[in-house]
Structure 1
Amino acid sequence: MYKAKKIIRKPGCTNPKSTLEIAKIYLTGVKNDGFYTKEAVHDFVRKGNIVRIDIGPSYPKLIDAISSRGEKYVRSEPNDTPNDNLFRLPRV
């Protein structure tokens, strides 16, 4: 199973509640565990790979998205939390 474990925000992050502000995501279960750009994770998920956020008990899935400016990113599937579950992961 592929899991998202940590995030790195963009330098000078101005809107900590926008997943567009995430620069990299740490993935495990892939060939080389480590940090991957949000664009690379977007492409990985878009190809049909299921990545779950390492937040139990629900382990929400990542969903690929594209901003109005054409920027690739990922977000978590909607649930009852007010903020995206990616922000519940440790930050580096």
Structure 2
Amino acid sequence: MQATKIRMKPGRSSSDELTEIDSIYLTGCQQVGYYKKEDIHNYLIGRPGNIQVNIYPYPNIVPATSSRGEKYVRSTPDSSLKDNLLNLPRT
């Protein structure tokens, strides 16, 4: 599966914080569409490596938890200056 775009929380459209992502658009799955970041987090706990960001070098998306206990996702680090998820188109 690939993440192709993101939707930020209301009022946070220009944020560069991963925790401000509301949902992520996934392709290559049975139900193409937006999925809440918490649902993707839970899915990836048992299925690491199943979702990649649709930006070269196509890093994996991995589950993470903030210091406040909020579930979110991020991509594996590469040479880009910010997380590749935040470089996806926003809707």
What's the TM-score once normalised by structure 1's chain length? Answer: 0.91
Say whether residues 1:60 and 2:56 are aligned partners: no
User: Paired residue for 2:3?
Assistant: 4
User: Paired residue for 1:48?
Assistant: 47
CA distance in 1, matches of 2:90, 2:25: 10
Structure 1 residue 14 displacement after superposition: 7.9
Cα contact 1:15–1:21 (8 A) shared by 2: no
Structure 1's 51 and 69: CA in aligned 2 closer, same or farther, altered over 3 A?
same
What's the TM-score once normalised by structure 2's chain length? Answer: 0.92
Structure 1 residue 29 displacement after superposition: 1.4
CA distance in 1, matches of 2:42, 2:14: 24
Cα contact 2:13–2:90 (8 A) shared by 1: no
Task: List alignment gaps of at least 5 residues for structure 1.
Answer: none
Say whether residues 1:18 and 2:17 are aligned partners: yes
Q: How many residues align?
A: 90
Identity %: 43
Structure 1 residue 15 displacement after superposition: 7.1
Tell me the secondary structure at the aligned position of residue 70 of structure 1. Answer: coil
CA distance in 2, matches of 1:15, 1:30: 28
Query: Which stretch shifts more, 14-23 or 78-87?
Result: 14-23
Q: Deviations over 1:72-91 (max 9, x none)?
A: 10001011111110111110
Structure 1 residue 26 displacement after superposition: 0.3
Q: RMSD of the TM alignment (CA)?
A: 1.4
